Structure 1
Amino acid sequence: MATEAEVREAFRIQEFYCRHMDAPMYARLCAAIADGLRRDSRTGVRVLDWPGEPTRDALPLRLCGGLHALVRERRDEGLAAVFAGKIMELDAIAAALNAALVKHDEELVPWLDGPPQTNEPGRSGALMVGLMEIARRHGPRIELLEIGSSAGLNLLIDRYAFDLGGTRFGPPDSPVTIRPEWRGEPLAPAEMEIVSVRGCDIQPLDATDPAVEARLLAYVWPETSARAERLTRAIAMQRERGVELVRADAADWLEARLAEPQQAGVTRVLMHSVVWQYLPEDSANRIRAATAAAGARATAARPLGWVMMEPNRAFAQQIVRVRSWPGHDGWEVLATAHAHGTWVKNGIFEEDRRPIELPKSAKVEAG
């Protein structure tokens, strides 16, 4: 069980990352919670007496998602003023927060029950950097297997249009264009055909359910309206044609998929983003072992790839890296990226190797 001091520190860490990620309102909110959260609500007590590791459990984002849902539903004028930037002083923000917790206690407690679902279509832009590298190495045809798919929005990667610093890919008439701010080196184009996309999640969400859509939108930081619009368009794409997403343990599912016959001339690729930290150690070890075994069996006709976008907390950014078999079994770092895909920096530069000055703990889910 975390101490109250550790819980408050978790909110200070999230404040730090929000500031670093250009979300000043959420930074103020997290600072006010860290300093001013009281025990006069069930929600407040549960947060301050958190039974797990609050930063690893993304506790700040669980609570902030619930608060944002109240604002989106126009349920609390005080919180709405905080989110609109009309209340700036931390003491006043804390007062509005604690009043909202008392007033909406029963509604907010369930938001603490599970990790935040920050399924973000913008992450597909960073993942595409890795997939293009796999296509350059092993040929254009790719079969995608995604673990931790959440609501399956990145399973639409074959239906999105991409503009990656002028390198374009995907159907030009797609309702969603992934166009991150491009930094660093130009992306070398690669011919690529995504022949299939499948995914799993331990607790998948049906994004086409209006209640689930509302929940996903509550986890979108309010400063980033473009993300909310993109999310809405992606969900509309799912309503038009669904994705292949099943409920399964990631290790169980991947082991079964890697044991299936593989079509000649198609590279099978494991893909994931902001997932690894949530896996139990046993599951992570099984995935490593299953992938290494499949890699040892891979041939030029039936290659295997692994593409990930996962956080390096010491640098407050995501790292895009790849490995593939045969011939490229060592990890290669290709790019860094914003946690929501707002920007992608192709290539690794000296400034990317200098860690930022962190608060006391570096363990935090960026959101």
Structure 2
Amino acid sequence: MAEGAGDSAGGGDPEVQRLRRLFRFFAATQCRGRSPVYEALSEGVAGDDELLDLLMSAPGEQRRPSLLLAAVNLLLASNPGSALAGYYPIHGGRRPVDGRLMPAFAAFCAEHRAELGRLLRTRSTQTNEIRRCVALRLGLDHVHRRWPGPVALVEAGASAGLNLLLDRYRYRIGGQEASPEDAAPVTITCEVRGGIPAEGILGPVPEITCRRGIDQHPVNVADPGARAWLEAFIWPEQVGDLAVLRGAIDLAVSAATVTVAPGDATTDTARLLEELPGNEPVVVFTASLLSYLTPDARTAFAAQLRQAAAHRPVAWVFAEAPGLVATTDHLIAPDGPLARRNSLYLVGATLRDADRRDDALLALADPYLRWLALAREKTDDFQWLPANAG
């Protein structure tokens, strides 16, 4: 079906219309400037009811552009000679985006429709963008300044738990090295915007007494199939990111110091925190978790943190869309233009114990932490950062 044909054909289904809008939003806010292939494909899928119908076989909460694109990418790894693979540098392709991309995508989906349907019915969105460790380190530094000493670390929505190994990676922030003392096999890079010197942005990592994750569908990186599914969420042009992910996975397999348990962040987080040994503060990290939760579920997650903080100090460090942070009980919740800048992510921290709480906005960043802009004041609205900063 030609691009745009789906706007009128079969367009009366509200779910199809929702998916159409979602793919166009994804193209404009996530793909533009980052992936010409996925931008073109997302726009094309938005106008093709047959391709949108593929995603209807997925559970309602999993009907996302990233799930369809990852399922196709997984199958492409076994079909590197296909016409579509020629557009994917991660599969050795070198062809630039042109008018044949969408026909190649549609033909590949038609040829593998049964396999795609099975993947979409049974798999879930599963990413581990370890650049978000930069946000975690910013938050840990903020916590450590207020609560010196060791901390326990928990990630809600941890996937494979790779972010829990944050102190095993090398960092290059704004071109400045910020590395562990020993050689690290994985390097995380992040640009700095706003004219603030990059030197010293990341403080030393405090002692971490234990590392735990919780996820509805934890990824066992020792399983080749699970590893391949995680790699399928790397975008076509991100050859370097694929190498970084593979290095982090290899490190996780060899380290064997991280545990990710199955569970729901909205009902099981407080129990997990109460089961942790010791009484040192717990830092709970989330990145993109709120986008997977309904408004009621976001309220329930915040309640889990309040419940746990009645027993020991708890800090929530996050990298989330500003508009979604505004729906939680964060005291310095963004409003006005900042709350609408959901193509970017807010990095912040909320510290709680039985008697007090402290909320802070730390930075505004690219959703994948390719760059960040540090807050200039506690209630910064970031209006000084250009609207097209993405």
TM-score, normalising length from structure 1? 0.83
Among candidates 41, 62, 68, match of residue 63 of structure 1: 68
CA distance in structure 2 between the partners assigned to 1:85 and 1:34 by the alignment: 25
CA distance in structure 1 between the partners assigned to 2:276 and 2:107 by the alignment: 58
CA distance in structure 1 between the partners assigned to 2:30 and 2:268 by the alignment: 34
Match of 1:361 in 2: none
Match of 1:274 in 2: 288
CA distance change for structure 1 residues 289 and 10 in 2, over 3 Å: closer, same or farther? closer
CA distance in structure 1 between the partners assigned to 2:67 and 2:120 by the alignment: 5
CA distance in structure 2 between the partners assigned to 1:188 and 1:18 by the alignment: 26
Match of 1:337 in 2: 365
CA distance change for structure 1 residues 232 and 306 in 2, over 3 Å: closer, same or farther? same
Does the aligned pair in 2 maintain the 1:317–1:337 contact within 8 Å? Answer: yes
Does the aligned pair in 2 maintain the 1:323–1:330 contact within 8 Å? Answer: yes
CA distance in structure 2 between the partners assigned to 1:227 and 1:219 by the alignment: 10
Deviations 1:214-237 (A, max 9, x none): 111111111121211110001101
Alignment coverage as a number of residue pairs: 345
Match of 1:102 in 2: 110
Kindly provide the amino acid, as one letter, of the partner of residue 190 in structure 2. Answer: P
Unaligned runs of 5+ in 1: 358-365
Kindly provide the amino acid, as one letter, of the partner of residue 206 in structure 2. Answer: M
- Does the residue aligned with 1:236 lie in a helix, a strand or coil? helix
Is residue 155 from structure 1 mapped to residue 164 from structure 2 by the alignment? yes
Deviation at 1:167, TM superposition (A): 6.7
Q: Which moved more, 1:26-35 or 1:340-349?
A: 340-349
Deviation at 1:155, TM superposition (A): 1.9
Is residue 289 from structure 1 mapped to residue 303 from structure 2 by the alignment? yes
Deviations 1:256-288 (A, max 9, x none): 233347635x32111111112223555433332
- Does the residue aligned with 2:167 lie in a helix, a strand or coil? coil
What is the percentage of aligned positions where both structures have the same residue? Answer: 26
Among candidates 301, 311, 320, match of residue 347 of structure 2: 320
Is residue 16 from structure 1 mapped to residue 28 from structure 2 by the alignment? yes
CA distance change for structure 1 residues 182 and 110 in 2, over 3 Å: closer, same or farther? farther
Deviations 1:281-321 (A, max 9, x none): 554333322322443455xxxx3211111123632111111
Match of 2:261 in 1: 246
CA distance change for structure 1 residues 110 and 2 in 2, over 3 Å: closer, same or farther? farther
Q: Which moved more, 1:96-105 or 1:78-87?
A: 78-87
CA distance in structure 2 between the partners assigned to 1:261 and 1:25 by the alignment: 44
Does the aligned pair in 2 maintain the 1:160–1:171 contact within 8 Å? Answer: no
Match of 2:79 in 1: 74
CA distance change for structure 1 residues 261 and 274 in 2, over 3 Å: closer, same or farther? closer
- Does the residue aligned with 2:278 lie in a helix, a strand or coil? coil
CA distance change for structure 1 residues 168 and 17 in 2, over 3 Å: closer, same or farther? same
CA distance in structure 2 between the partners assigned to 1:154 and 1:341 by the alignment: 13
Q: Which has the higher contact order (CA 8 A, sep 6+)?
A: 1
- Does the residue aligned with 2:66 lie in a helix, a strand or coil? helix
CA distance change for structure 1 residues 179 and 354 in 2, over 3 Å: closer, same or farther? closer
Match of 1:126 in 2: 135
Does the aligned pair in 2 maintain the 1:308–1:321 contact within 8 Å? Answer: yes
TM-score, normalising length from structure 2? 0.78
Does the aligned pair in 2 maintain the 1:150–1:203 contact within 8 Å? Answer: yes
Is residue 346 from structure 1 mapped to residue 344 from structure 2 by the alignment? no
Deviation at 1:72, TM superposition (A): 2.5
CA distance in structure 1 between the partners assigned to 2:71 and 2:162 by the alignment: 21
Which runs of structure 1 show a deviation greater than 6 angstroms over 4 or more consecutive aligned residues? 48-51
Match of 2:17 in 1: 5
Deviations 1:158-181 (A, max 9, x none): 322334444725343121122312
- Does the residue aligned with 2:321 lie in a helix, a strand or coil? strand
Deviation at 1:49, TM superposition (A): 8.1
Match of 1:27 in 2: 39
Unaligned runs of 5+ in 2: 1-12, 324-339
Kindly provide the amino acid, as one letter, of the partner of residue 319 in structure 1. Answer: L
Kindly provide the amino acid, as one letter, of the partner of residue 110 in structure 1. Answer: R
Deviations 1:157-216 (A, max 9, x none): 232233444472534312112231233434263562222211111111111211122111
